[in-house]
């Protein structure tokens, strides 16, 4: 049985009995009533057609031979109304050909009259089990498709226009060995894009080696990158291959390249130009085959102006620049990211959180996110640890998130001088604002916007608004 959303009470599955014999209708209605069904009857196909047009039925028991409109004609005429119903045909003149014809038109089963009560009950139970499995498969398929659609590129979760540009560039550059420089604020997902580029390219079978240039002491950085020979310096008791050699045939990801000491910048430039390295303590060079992807949260042109970053290295790295937009400029990705992190932490924490409450989501959309996606991930994890229900409410989030003011922020659209694009952008913004204001209640939002509910649903789908 299903649950009534308003009263919380179970409701009976609705069954439609279609038969021109009054005694048969009364008998089936009484029998199915004892089985726990809510029964509606119709005296022929035309009467049944009116009823299925006005109401959805879980099961339809329909006689074949009837005046005015028979069962086969009913199946043909009512096709559009029967997508969620299981139809079982009945006839005292049952033949294999008739059964096949009914099945072709969408009937689930065919029962010959006269029949026993248990036969009807068993057939309906089989039909209900079939529908339950079909519904479960539909939910699983929708979940799988939803999981697939949330990934813009590799494991990058996004759908915003700003990130679509990033995904487009990353997809194109993945096919080549071109050096890539990924810039953007801390926490925007630069390493995730670097990994996606590597995984989508011809080097995916080889290793991706990541190193944080700001996390290794300056005196050890050269040895870490290029390797060293035994005895090259105090403590070098054996030969050690560097990270370039570990990434042979694959990709070396140099994160926070702006932290690399100037002296090492010269040596890195030579490696990029000559495709060979010289380990510390060696007098010979070794050829390498490594793709380099670099990333930084620093303003490298400003660093060059201050003499802290070499201009020639910058232009050698900046062959294909990719700028990661901050989360505040792509806030339409926040609901998608929140759902992704909830699913992730449900697995690791053993929780069963379904989502974020509309009021809390409004706060998430208005917040500036100085720590970007990484900060959102940490806040979702914190909220899930504190939550005692299925939804993450405002009380689960820190005070700085709740003190946000103003409307939900959306990134500025590049509309140029197009009035049509400006109108679409304004509609998208106003719809998002109305949904946040009403806590996701689409009926109330439609009233605020002074448009019909179907029109609002259509625009939400068109603009891919995930609130």
In a domain? residue 175: yes
**Domain boundary pick from 143, 177, 202:** 143
Contact 243, 224 (CB under 8 A): yes
> What is the predicted pLDDT for the residue at 380?
96
Indicate the pairing of strand 391-392 with strand 355-356.
parallel
Q: Could you tell me the CATH number of the domain that includes residue 176?
A: 3.40.50.300
In a domain? residue 155: no
Residues 318 and 358 in one domain: no
Residues 317 and 349 in one domain: no
Contact 181, 299 (CB under 8 A): no
What does 373-420 look like in DSSP terms, one character per residue? HHHHHHHHHHHHHH--SSEE-GGGS-HHHHT--SSPP-PPP--TT-HH
**Domain boundary pick from 84, 118, 143:** 143
Q: Which residue has the tokens 């049944």?
A: 48
In a domain? residue 154: no
In a domain? residue 410: no
Q: Measure the CA–CA gap between 339 and 154, rounded to whole angstroms.
A: 17
Q: Could you tell me the CATH number of the domain that includes residue 106?
A: 3.40.50.2300
DSSP element (H, E) containing 90: strand 86-91
Residues 256 and 371 in one domain: no
Q: Measure the CA–CA gap between 223 and 280, rounded to whole angstroms.
A: 6
* Residues 49-79 pLDDT 10s: 999 988 889 889 998 888 888 888 898 888 8
Residues 177 and 321 in one domain: yes
Q: Could you tell me the CATH number of the domain that includes residue 339?
A: 1.10.8.60
Omega within 30 of 0 (cis) for the link into 114: yes
**Domain boundary pick from 375, 402, 429:** 402
DSSP element (H, E) containing 107: none
Q: Measure the CA–CA gap between 369 and 455, rounded to whole angstroms.
A: 32
Q: Which of 75, 25, 22 minimizes the C-alpha distance to 52?
A: 75
Tell me the pTM.
Answer: 0.59
Residues 207 and 108 in one domain: no
Residues 106 and 129 in one domain: yes
Residues 133 and 175 in one domain: no
> What is the predicted pLDDT for the residue at 287?
94
In a domain? residue 134: yes
Residues 97 and 9 in one domain: yes
Residues 35 and 13 in one domain: yes
In a domain? residue 150: no
Q: Could you tell me the CATH number of the domain that includes residue 437?
A: 1.10.10
Residues 166 and 204 in one domain: yes
Domains in the chain, number: 4
Per-residue pLDDT of the chain (467 residues; tens, 9 = 90+): 444 444 444 467 889 999 999 999 999 999 888 888 889 999 999 999 999 988 889 889 998 888 888 888 898 888 888 877 888 888 877 666 777 777 878 788 888 878 777 788 888 888 777 777 776 666 655 554 554 456 778 888 888 888 999 999 999 999 999 999 999 999 999 999 999 999 999 999 999 999 999 888 888 899 999 988 988 888 888 898 999 999 999 999 999 999 999 999 999 999 999 999 999 998 899 999 999 999 999 999 999 999 999 999 999 999 999 999 999 999 889 998 999 999 999 999 999 999 998 888 888 988 889 999 999 999 999 999 999 889 999 899 998 887 654 444 444 445 555 667 777 777 888 888 788 777 677 888 888 888 888 888 888 888 777 66
In a domain? residue 226: yes
DSSP element (H, E) containing 291: strand 291-296
| Alpha carbon 265 to its chain's center | 40
The 8 Å CB, 24+ separation contacts for 136-142 are none
> What is the predicted pLDDT for the residue at 129?
79
Residues 82 and 211 in one domain: no
Residues 188 and 291 in one domain: yes
Q: What angle do CA 190, 176, 155 make, to 5 degrees?
A: 35
291 φ/ψ angles, rounded to the nearest 5 degrees: -90, 140
Q: What angle do CA 461, 466, 467 make, to 5 degrees?
A: 115
In a domain? residue 377: yes
Range of the domain at 299: 160-325
């Amino acid at each position: 049985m299903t649950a009534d959303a308003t009263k919380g009470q179970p409701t009976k599955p609705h069954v439609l009995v279609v038969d021109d014999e009054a005694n048969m209708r009364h008998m089936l209605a009484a029998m199915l009533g004892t089985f726990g069904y809510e029964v509606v009857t119709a005296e022929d196909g035309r009467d049944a057609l009116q009823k299925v047009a006005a109401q959805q039925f879980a099961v339809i028991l329909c006689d074949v031979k009837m005046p005015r409109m028979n069962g086969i004609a009913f199946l043909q005429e009512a096709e559009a109304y029967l997508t969620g119903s299981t139809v079982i045909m009945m006839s005292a003149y049952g033949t294999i050909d008739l059964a096949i014809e009914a099945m072709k038109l969408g009937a689930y089963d065919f029962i010959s009259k006269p029949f026993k009560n248990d036969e009807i009950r068993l057939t309906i139970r089989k039909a209900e089990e079939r529908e339950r499995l079909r519904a479960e498969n539909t939910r699983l398929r929708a979940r799988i498709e939803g999981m697939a659609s949330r990934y813009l590129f590799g494991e990058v979760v996004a759908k915003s226009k700003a990130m679509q540009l990033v995904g487009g560039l990353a997809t194109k550059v993945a096919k080549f060995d071109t050096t890539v420089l990924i810039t953007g604020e801390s926490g925007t997902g630069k390493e995730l894009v670097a990994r996606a580029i590597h995984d989508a390219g011809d080097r995916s079978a080889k290793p991706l080696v990541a190193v944080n240039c700001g996390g290794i002491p300056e005196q050890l950085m050269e040895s870490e990158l290029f390797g060293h020979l035994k005895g090259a310096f105090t403590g070098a008791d054996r030969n050690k291959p560097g990270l370039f050699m570990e990434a042979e045939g694959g990709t070396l990801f140099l994160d926070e390249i702006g932290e690399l000491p100037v002296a090492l910048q010269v040596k890195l430039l030579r490696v990029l130009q000559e495709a060979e390295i010289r380990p510390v303590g060696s007098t010979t060079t070794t050829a390498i085959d490594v793709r380099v992807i670099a990333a930084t949260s620093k303003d490298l042109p400003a660093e060059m102006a201050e003499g802290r970053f070499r201009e020639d290295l910058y232009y050698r790295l900046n062959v294909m620049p990719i700028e990661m937009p901050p989360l505040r400029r792509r806030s339409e990705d926040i609901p998608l990211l929140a759902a992704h992190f909830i699913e992730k932490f449900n697995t690791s924490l053993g929780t069963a959180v379904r989502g974020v409450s509309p009021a809390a989501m409004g706060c998430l959309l208005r917040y500036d996110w100085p720590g970007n996606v990484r900060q959102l991930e940490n806040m979702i994890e914190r909220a899930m640890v504190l939550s005692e229900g299925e939804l993450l409410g405002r009380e689960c989030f820190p005070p700085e998130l709740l003190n946000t003011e103003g409307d939900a922020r959306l990134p500025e659209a590049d509309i140029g001088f197009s009035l049509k694009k400006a109108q679409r952008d304004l509609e998208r913004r106003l719809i998002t604002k109305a949904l946040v204001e009403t806590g996701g209640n689409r009926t109330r939002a439609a009233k605020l916007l002074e448009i019909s509910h179907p029109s609002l649903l259509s625009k939400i789908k068109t603009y891919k608004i995930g609130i």
